[in-house]
Structure 1
Amino acid sequence: MNLFDKLYDEHENAKVRFIGFTTDQTRYDFGIVFTNLFFGKPLVVCMQTGRSTLLDPKDLDDTEFLQKVFKMSTIQQALDLSQFFKIVIPTPVFETQYE
């Protein structure tokens, strides 16, 4: 009997960007993994806390979501992060699956 039912096992050479920046209130260090998996959403990892999420451009307008995911103490921190991610996370371009 198999112990695991494999759902997927993909290998990919992904682009990774490591970036650190500061605002008036906080220092940030992120790793951003750009991949073709997960519908083109990049995996964003906070290098300070290890918290991570898949982000899509629509998520960047939801500052409450960003505040919750990255455990930020103020909404201003989430607004700053939203503004930053809008610059570094491109809008995904999807290929047409059906014609």
Structure 2
Amino acid sequence: MNLFEKLYDEHEKVKVRFVGFTTDDTRYDFGIVYTNMFFGKPLVVCMQTGRSTLLDPADLDNIDYLQKIFRIQDVKQASDLAEFFQETLPAVPFATQYE
């Protein structure tokens, strides 16, 4: 039975970093998956809520996006999170995944 057209099925050994930290107001626990998929953007998973997104340094300038994706009400908390990711995520060149 051919119900689905497979788009990709990749196997890859990846580097995963787990990091927990606190700010003045909040505790965070993240898993960061570094992969060659998704144009080289790391997959960032909030271990507390299960929310995830692909992030690169350019995304960190958009505080509204961080607030929306991680459901953060306070702008200061989102700014703190952006600062953490700016120091943590590598400035990776855009991957040539579809060459």
Q: Structure 1 length normalisation: TM-score?
A: 0.93
Map of 2:56 onto structure 1:
56
Q: Are positions 1:65 and 2:56 aligned together? A: no
Q: Which runs of 5+ in 1 are unaligned?
A: none
Please report how far the alpha carbon of residue 56 of structure 1 lies from its aligned counterpart in structure 2 after TM superposition. Answer: 1.2
Q: Distance in 1 between matches of 2:42 and 2:62?
A: 16
Superposed CA deviations along residues 33-84 of structure 1, whole A, max 9, x for unmatched, are: 0000101000000000000000011000100000000001201110000000
Change (3 A) 1:66 1:17: same
- Which amino acid counterpart does residue 26 of structure 1 have in structure 2? T
Contact 2:39 2:95 in 1 (8 A): no
Map of 1:85 onto structure 2:
85
Runs of 4+ in structure 1 off by over 6 angstroms are none
Report % sequence identity: 69
Map of 1:13 onto structure 2:
13
Please report how far the alpha carbon of residue 95 of structure 1 lies from its aligned counterpart in structure 2 after TM superposition. Answer: 6.3
Q: Using CA pairs under 8 Å that are at least 6 residues apart, name the structure with larger relative contact order, 1 or 2.
A: 2
Please report how far the alpha carbon of residue 93 of structure 1 lies from its aligned counterpart in structure 2 after TM superposition. Answer: 2.7
Contact 2:40 2:95 in 1 (8 A): no
Secondary structure, in 3 states, of the residue corresponding to 1:44? strand
Q: Structure 2 length normalisation: TM-score?
A: 0.93
Q: Which runs of 5+ in 2 are unaligned?
A: none
